[in-house]
Amino acid sequence: MSISLERRGVSCVAELLDKEAPRTCDAVWQALPLEGPAQHAKYARNEVYTMVPRFSPEEVGQENPTVTPIPGDVVYFSFPGGMLDREFKEDKGVEHLPGVIDLAIFYGRNNLLINGDVGWVPGNVYATIVEGLDAMAEACHDVWRSGSVGERLVYRRHEE
C-alpha cells in the first residue's frame, strides 16, 4: 500500500500485516483508495492521520492492538460518534456521521495513545512502513510545524 501526503508530494510504502491483523488488512484493502484531510495529532505525539466514513459492513474489532505505536506503524482506529467531542467532530467535518475510521501513521518515537476525555485509545497496527519512512517523517513533522491546511493523506494500492 502506498501512503502519500499529496500537497507535499511525499509517499511511502507500507506492507500489510496480514498474519497479525487479517480482518483489518482485508477491510482496508477492499476499501482502497481512502483519503481525507491530513491532521497532526495533539496528544499522541508523532502521528498524522485522516478520518474517513466507516467503510466495512462489520466492525473489525481489536487485533494486534497497541497504545504505544513505534515509527513506521500504520494504525486503524474506529470511533463511534458518541466518543468524539462535538467541537472536534465539527472541526473535522464528521459531525453528521454515526462514527468514523481514523487511519494514522506514526513517524517518530515516544507515542502514547491516551485521550484526556476517554483514557487509553488502543489502535490496530495493520501495516508497517517499509520504504520512504525518513522522507515521510520529515514531511509529517512539517505538517506539525507549518500546518495541515490543504494537505491530504491518501492511501492507495501500491503499484510495483
Of 50, 42, 15, 5, nearest to 140 (Cα)? 5
Q: Does residue 93 register a pLDDT over 90?
A: no
Q: Does residue 130 register a pLDDT over 80?
A: yes
Whole-prediction pTM value? 0.91
DSSP 120: E
- What are the structural domains, with CATH classification, of the chain? 2-156 (2.40.100.20)
